Structure 1
Amino acid sequence: MSDPTDDRWTGAVLLLIGSSTGGIGQHVASLSRGLVSGGARVTVCGPLAVEQQFRFTASGARFVPVEIPANPTLADARAVTAVRRVLADGVDVVHAHGLRAGFVAALARPSAPIVVTWHNSILAGGLRGRLARLVERRVARAARVTLGASADLVERAVALGAPDARLGPVAAPELPAPRRSRAAVRAEFGVGAHQPLVLSVGRLHPQKRYDLLVDAAAGWRELTPPAQVVIAGTGPSYLSLAAQISAVRAPVTLLGHRHDVADLLLGADLAVVCSDWEARQLFAQEALRAGVPLVATAVGGLPELVGDACRLIPPGDLAALDGAVRELLTDHQQRADLAERGPRRAAGWPTDADSLDLVRAVYRELSDGRDETGGREVAGGQSVPGRRNGPTDRDGRPVDGSG
């Protein structure tokens, strides 16, 4: 039990995570560091590859390898068994990140309360989509508290029967200072001083719609001077994207996983996010903080995240993507305006520390046995409400009626 007069929380928590190469893993690593430094006992369960990338044990957490496949399979039984072994040691809270981890937590049936952070929306159709939505419903009803990374995820959890759904923004960790000069970064890609360099960073997955970016980039060869596009990230779409780049002769380079995103942003003239859905996409946050003009799709939590500091376009619209990039690359004043607005917008976002404070407050509430549902404020004046089952507006605030 934690001391209610202390802002820290010193209980025992199991953080459960599935496969991740980006935002979810970074978020869990940040929570793990903050909780351990505050005196909590943290155990992280997840695939060994996630520990190798994010090194939870380096900050003092215990790590137990638990393989959680991307889709429900018979392997879930092994994951549930492994989680139950950890639960036998005694924990105060189980906090799962993502629906797959949340499903394993629900199947494990811990005596401790379950918290699930929803990071993504289900976009798949067909049999896979129907199965995913059954998992989604089970996870929503199993969690004592659901934290949605964006307001639409909170609304979705409420609609599926979550007893307590709240907005829980996931902050992007501050990037380190660039280590190279702008000229040195651009020289890596053979980009001249006046040639446009367009950057995107994210997992190579169909949701990210990099196929649209490649198709649009194929036409940017005709610009004077021609634009060069670089995409940093790994994922299952790598081979199909590489084949597409070759087929349409697009000036696009797939960089793989990079640790120098700050350097890449320094060298870029424009950043692009063309996903079908995002909550609080980390690269969008990084771009605005760095003052790099951003073109992004108006989906999920992106509009409420970026406000007027970004050029928003409809999802899946090749002409809109092409037109927005061409316009900004030829209009220095528009780019300069967005470059100024970005850091101002970013200054009002919740920080890593705010995300940690929110999670600690939820843990204290659950481990102390209290039933608190009042909202609380985080930096930038963004409300993070605690909700019993009921509708919310786009900012996560309660509204009357059932609509």
Structure 2
Amino acid sequence: MSVVPPVAGRAPQLHVVQLLGGGSAGTGAHVRSLAAGLDARGVRVTVCASQYAERRYDFGGTGARFIPLPVRAQADAVRTLRAICCDADLVHAHGMRAGLVAALALRRRSVPLVVTWHARPADRGVRERLRRLTERWVARAASVVLGATSDLVARARRRGARDARLAPVALPAQRAARSQENEPHKVRAELGVVDRPLLVAEQGHDMLLAAARGWRWLDPQPLLVMAGEGPQRPVWQRRIEREGLPVRLLDRAQDVRRLLPVADVALAAPRWEARPELAQEALRGGVPLVATAVGGVPELVGDAAVLIPYGEVAALTAAVRTLLADPDQRAALTLAGRARARSWPTEDTTVAQVLSVYDELSGTR
């Protein structure tokens, strides 16, 4: 990310507390990006998160002060944050758990609270009702709710947010490994896909495995490589072996994304997602993308990907077959994807948008 000189005239120095209560890898990367960008603009930043998040994202390496936050005991987290916020001008919480902790810590205090809603929950039953109550509490406690997608903004407004705004989250572009940039044929040979298509995927395993049954009879037969981390891996592996599916599981999602430079088609089939990292990297790299039309995906990709309904296995199977048989369509999607990616907000514009909200709120204290 480019370094922007501190803005003249901002005195005294603004102190912002960034609170991360868990969340996805994309949320952690976003907080790190904000911390670095705000520090470059002369803002004093304190990041409160778990020790695990600090090891993974190195918030302290951005110039921010890092303070560990208890992740399991909510009361301890509230007390810790309350002490940290004694001299804070503003608190920015990321995710619902962080928003609740911040709302409790700032009760009867005049410190503005910004909460970014990154994801939509998939809770059901009692957990869904509790989640709805939490959302209502957090939405009403926040000075401003920033939604990563339009439907999250609408959800915050339904929960009573006094001010909810769209604020897409820009993630850092991932750089391909040198071996994949310079020796793509070697990478494909190691995977056994020199003369067959390579499909890469990260989410929606049940739907993807069901679709893979329809790709077994293609000639040449494509290989689907997808992330296999988590407790469901043994279940997926048994299904692959039992049904003879042309699928290989890798240990981590990052390993799958590193294969994008040598992939023929990328697949993103989440039930709901704001801005899937795989989809972003696919379009940036010019890899044709098939994705489920859920959450913020249509806003993200526009006409630069093939969109299908979630759960429609036949539509996924047909979309991949069509793309593999039509090099002209793949070439068109390559060009459209790169053009679409250039239209997305950058890390710099994301930081600038967030800072404008901070200035607006801190100026009204």
TM-score, with length taken from structure 1: 0.82
Matched, 1:251 2:246: yes
Alignment of 1:217-366 (within 5 A): 217-232=212-227, 234-235=229-230, 237-257=232-252, 259=254, 263-366=258-361
Q: Give structure 2 stretches of 5+ with no counterpart.
A: 1-5
Q: 1:159 & 1:103 partners in 2: Cα distance?
A: 17
Q: 1:85 & 1:244 partners in 2: Cα distance?
A: 51
1:188 corresponds to which residue? 190
2:3 corresponds to which residue? none
Q: 1:15 to 1:219 in 2, by over 3 A?
A: same
Residue 314 of structure 1: how far off its partner (Å):
0.4
Q: 1:226 to 1:10 in 2, by over 3 A?
A: farther
Matched, 1:211 2:206: yes
Matched residues, percent identical?
49
Q: 1:15 to 1:229 in 2, by over 3 A?
A: same
Q: In the alignment, is the contact (CA less than 8 A) between 2:226 and 2:256 conserved in 1? A: no
Q: 1:239 to 1:120 in 2, by over 3 A?
A: farther
Residue 224 of structure 1: how far off its partner (Å):
1.1
Q: 1:240 to 1:51 in 2, by over 3 A?
A: farther
Residue 65 of structure 1: how far off its partner (Å):
1.9
**Secondary structure of 1:245's aligned partner:** helix
**Secondary structure of 2:349's aligned partner:** helix
1:376 corresponds to which residue? none
Among 12, 29, 43, which residue is 2:15 paired with?
12
Residue 232 of structure 1: how far off its partner (Å):
3.6
Residue 175 of structure 1: how far off its partner (Å):
2.2
Q: In the alignment, is the contact (CA less than 8 A) between 2:273 and 2:297 conserved in 1? A: yes
CA RMSD after TM alignment? 2.2
Which amino acid in 2 is paired with 1:33?
A: A
**Secondary structure of 2:153's aligned partner:** helix
**Secondary structure of 1:171's aligned partner:** coil
Alignment of 1:33-182 (within 5 A): 33-68=36-71, 75-88=73-86, 90-109=87-106, 111=109, 112-180=111-179, 181-182=183-184
Q: 1:243 & 1:130 partners in 2: Cα distance?
A: 35
The superposition leaves residues 215-271 of structure 1 with CA deviations (integer Å, 9 ceiling, x where unpaired) of: 212332222121111124744544443343344332222222365666411110000
**Secondary structure of 1:223's aligned partner:** coil
Residue 81 of structure 1: how far off its partner (Å):
2.0
Q: In the alignment, is the contact (CA less than 8 A) between 2:323 and 2:329 conserved in 1? A: yes
Q: In the alignment, is the contact (CA less than 8 A) between 2:50 and 2:68 conserved in 1? A: yes
Q: Which structure has greater helix proportion?
A: 2
Which amino acid in 1 is paired with 2:136?
A: R
The superposition leaves residues 251-298 of structure 1 with CA deviations (integer Å, 9 ceiling, x where unpaired) of: 222222365666411110000111111212222111111100000011
The superposition leaves residues 174-228 of structure 1 with CA deviations (integer Å, 9 ceiling, x where unpaired) of: 2225412221221232222x31111123xxxxxx422111221233222212111
Residue 148 of structure 1: how far off its partner (Å):
0.4
**Secondary structure of 1:347's aligned partner:** helix
Q: 1:258 to 1:320 in 2, by over 3 A?
A: closer
Q: Give structure 1 stretches of 5+ with no counterpart.
A: 70-74, 202-207, 371-403
Q: In the alignment, is the contact (CA less than 8 A) between 2:19 and 2:94 conserved in 1? A: yes
Alignment of 1:17-36 (within 5 A): 17-36=20-39
**Secondary structure of 1:275's aligned partner:** coil
The superposition leaves residues 107-144 of structure 1 with CA deviations (integer Å, 9 ceiling, x where unpaired) of: 21253111000110122211111111111111111110
**Secondary structure of 1:225's aligned partner:** coil
Q: In the alignment, is the contact (CA less than 8 A) between 1:9 and 1:364 conserved in 2? A: no
TM-score, with length taken from structure 2: 0.90
Q: In the alignment, is the contact (CA less than 8 A) between 1:295 and 1:324 conserved in 2? A: yes
Which amino acid in 2 is paired with 1:337?
A: A
**Secondary structure of 1:304's aligned partner:** helix
Q: In the alignment, is the contact (CA less than 8 A) between 1:9 and 1:360 conserved in 2? A: no
Aligned length: 355
Q: In the alignment, is the contact (CA less than 8 A) between 2:176 and 2:261 conserved in 1? A: no
Q: 1:25 to 1:344 in 2, by over 3 A?
A: same
